[in-house]
């Protein structure tokens, strides 16, 4: 066991993955509690598809992927929240539309440029090898921003999650906090996609909070437990991926699923 960890920590890319992944997992778990309770779970999924579209365009145009993806995904997140607020198209349908259109654009752009290269493949299914130094620094800075903003707005995020109408009716600008929530979610998803991949990133948002809600009864304990569970699952996911030489994102989803089962049994 000690040998395993010695081996593991001798690789720089694994240490990077644990640091960036841990931070992203923490952000995703905290935001996830609110998103799941607001019935916005699938927004994470939709946004990751939008990010894929944006990334393929960025790669085709030779731009830095994160610089293109983050603003595009923030706009998409805002649009999705707006649509679910006041339109006749229900939000689940809206997410379906936006995510398939994004994937379609992505696939066409890829076909027109030079075909699926490794970089895009890594965005689809995640890779801990894909991160450059710039990615690592940017990811760390952004996730710390997300965490700080989340803590500062924690009480307000609770209020708009629990009862948006009440906050609006009593003079708090609920829209602003929804916007903050969607920006934070967008940033977290774009950063997390490098490790988890487009297809799997939404599990980081959904699983930890559902796991925490199996046993915890108050918002604060759900948020804290969710964060801890998420980081633990990410770590063991990376370990599993290293030991069995299988894709990291998939391992992280499985460790999350196992944790969910354990908590469900523990609840009884």
Q: Could you tell me the two tokens for 22? A: 């841990």
Token pair, residue 20, equals 């960036």
Decide: 189 and 73 in contact? Cβ < 8 Å. yes
Name which of 49 and 214 has its Cβ closer to another protein: 214
**For another protein, which residue of 22, 156, 232, 240 counts as binding (CB under 8 A)?**
156
Could you tell me which stretch among 23-31, 66-74, 119-127, 211-219 binds another protein (CB under 8 A)?
211-219
113 binds another protein (CB under 8 A): no
Rg value, the chain, Cα: 18
Measured from the CB of residue 91, what is the shortest distance to another protein in angstroms? 13
Span from 44-52, 161-169, 199-207, 231-239 in contact with another protein (CB under 8 A) = 161-169
Give the residue among 258, 252, 255, 110 at the shortest CA–CA distance from 195: 252
Q: Is 151 in the site for another protein (CB under 8 A)?
A: yes
Out of 169, 243, 246, 262, name the contact with another protein by CB under 8 A. 169
Sole binder of another protein in the list 39, 64, 114, 132 (CB under 8 A)? 39
Which positions from 172 to 191 touch another protein by CB under 8 A, shown as an x/- string? x-------------------
Does position 216 interact with another protein (CB under 8 A)? The reply is: yes
Q: How far is CA 77 from CA 46, 70, 81, 110, 190, in A?
A: 9, 10, 6, 24, 12
From the list 54-62, 108-116, 214-222, 230-238, the region that binds another protein by CB under 8 A is 214-222
Region binding another protein by CB under 8 A among candidate stretches 54-62, 106-114, 218-226, 248-256: 218-226
Distance CA 193, CA 204 (A): 10
| Dist. CA 268–CA 266, nearest whole Å | 6
Q: Which of 8, 19, 37, 147 binds another protein (CB under 8 A)?
A: 37
CA distance 53 to 55: 5
Number of residues that bind another protein (CB under 8 A): 29
**d(C-alpha 73, C-alpha 173), whole Å:** 23
* CB-based contact 253:25 (threshold 8 Å): no
Candidates 16-24, 210-218, 235-243, 255-263 — which segment interacts with another protein by CB under 8 A? Answer: 210-218
Give the C-alpha distances (Å, rounded to integers) separating 85 from 47, 92, 93, 223: 17, 12, 13, 25
Residues found near another protein in the complex (CB under 8 A): 37-39, 151-156, 158-159, 162-163, 165-172, 213, 216-222
């Amino acid at each position: 066991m000690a040998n395993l960890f010695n081996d593991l920590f001798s690789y720089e890319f694994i240490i990077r993955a644990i640091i960036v992944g841990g931070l992203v997992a923490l952000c995703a778990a905290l935001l996830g509690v609110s998103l799941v309770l607001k019935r916005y779970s699938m927004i994470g999924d939709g946004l990751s598809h939008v990010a894929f579209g944006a990334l393929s365009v960025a790669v085709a145009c030779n731009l830095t992927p994160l610089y293109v993806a983050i603003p595009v995904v923030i706009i998409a997140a805002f649009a999705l929240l707006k649509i679910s607020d006041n339109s006749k198209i229900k939000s689940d349908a809206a997410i379906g539309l936006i995510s398939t259109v994004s994937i379609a654009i992505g696939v066409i752009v890829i076909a027109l440029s030079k075909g699926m290269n490794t970089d895009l493949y890594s965005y689809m299914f995640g890779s801990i090898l894909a991160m450059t130094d710039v990615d690592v620094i940017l990811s760390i800075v952004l996730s710390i921003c997300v965490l700080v903003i989340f803590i500062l707005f924690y009480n307000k995020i609770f209020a708009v999650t629990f009862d948006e109408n009440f906050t609006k009716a009593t003079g708090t600008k609920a829209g602003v906090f929804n916007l903050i929530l969607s920006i934070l979610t967008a940033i977290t998803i774009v950063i997390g996609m490098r490790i988890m991949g487009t297809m799997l990133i939404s599990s980081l948002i959904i699983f930890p909070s559902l796991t925490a809600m199996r046993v915890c009864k108050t918002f604060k304990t759900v948020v804290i437990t969710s964060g801890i569970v998420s980081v633990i699952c990410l770590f063991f996911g990376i370990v599993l991926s290293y030991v069995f030489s299988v894709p990291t994102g998939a391992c992280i989803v499985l460790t999350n699923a196992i944790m969910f089962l354990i908590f469900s049994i523990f609840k009884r």
